[in-house]
Amino acid sequence: MDAVGHRVVHGGPRFSGPVRLDAAVFKELQELTSLAPLHQPPALAGIAAVKAALPAVPSVACFDTAFHHRLPPAAATYAIPDQWRDRFAIRRYGFHGLSHAYASRRAAEMLDRPSRGFRVVTCHLGAGASLAAVRGGRSVDTTMGFTPLEGLVMATRSGSVDPGLLIWLLRDAGFDAAALEESLERRSGLLGLAGTADMREILARAARRDVGARLAIEVYLHRLRAGIASMAAALGGLDALVFTGGVGENAPSVRLQAARGLDFLGVRLDPRSNRSGGPDREVGARGAPVRTLVVHAREDLEIARQVRRLLAGSEG
């Protein structure tokens, strides 16, 4: 074994690309745990285990936030007091960057398009879900923000909610910060709407006209369509739409229902291609202005690519 690459969700304001892991880097990553409480601890545990088992093998951290590190200021900045932004490094970091980077590059390959000027919205839809607007291989907007809670409805996470609601829950409803975090991270999203976080079960129940399941799907799709349209606006137009992740790849009805609300953008699906086919395929209707693809999520390949490039550079 020559090297080990680790997926790390949060790189904070410092880590804008892959980095070799040492004790100082590990300590900095520990300090970011509060920003990604579901993901950072198991990543750190994996790093420690590999270091103990393979002390002489170089380990590299690859960050989900790094792909979005150069978001334009208009997309990265919250309209909050500047003292907060400066003191606490508060900005929109974005997540799922490894998946968005791979999916956008793979889409350009599949369509035989140069990355320069190529405008694609990548939809990473899994237990966690986010969108990215990618122009010329660079992220220019995304739906997740300071933490992975912002944006779309997810399996157990709420996505965006009115911050005034959170203030009310803390001030008037007797919640404390720990209870609020537990509810928003682990008891909301599809689980909070339908009683289950499993999209397959929700779709099956919705087909049987289950009221809770149908509401969950409608809320999910409403946020998804609105997010895709906002990403297209950030790009100034759209050349391709990509679905990836567990739901994005394996729920044709979600893709079809999302596309039905995006015809005004030029998104139209071919029902037969959408229902079946290989892991990387085009599902858009012939002649549709926007090409629509399903891309198998390969964060592992993106990590391997980043590890090779980093170590090749550091070794001359």
Catalytic residue among 2, 64, 280, 300: 64
Q: Where are the domains of the chain?
A: 4-94+300-314, 102-298
Q: What amino acid occupies position 34? A: S
In sequence order, the 6+-apart residues with CB closer than 8 A to the CB of 262 are 225, 228, 229, 241
Instruction: Output the furthest CA–CA distance in the chain (Å, rounded).
Output: 62
pLDDT of res. 237? 97
15-62 pLDDT per residue, tens: 999 999 999 999 999 998 888 887 899 999 999 999 999 999 999 999
Average pLDDT for the chain: 96
244-262 pLDDT per residue, tens: 999 999 999 999 999 999 9
Q: Provide the token pair at 180.
A: 């609020």
pLDDT of res. 305? 97
Report the run of H or E that residue 129 belongs to, with start and end.
strand 129-135
In sequence order, the 6+-apart residues with CB closer than 8 A to the CB of 312 are none
What is the rounded CA–CA span in Å between residue 262 and residue 255?
Answer: 11
Active site residue 2: no
pLDDT surpasses 90 at 316: no
CATH class for the region spanning 4-94+300-314: alpha beta
pLDDT of res. 18? 97
Cβ proximity of 123 and 224 under 8 Å: yes
What is the rounded CA–CA span in Å between residue 238 and residue 266?
Answer: 8
- Coil, strand or helix at 309: helix
Q: Which residues of 89-127 are buried (b: 16+ CB within 10 A; e: fewer)?
A: ebbbbbbbbbbbbbbbbbbbebeebebeebbbbbbbbbb
Give the CATH superfamily of 102-298. Answer: ATPase, nucleotide binding domain (3.30.420.40)
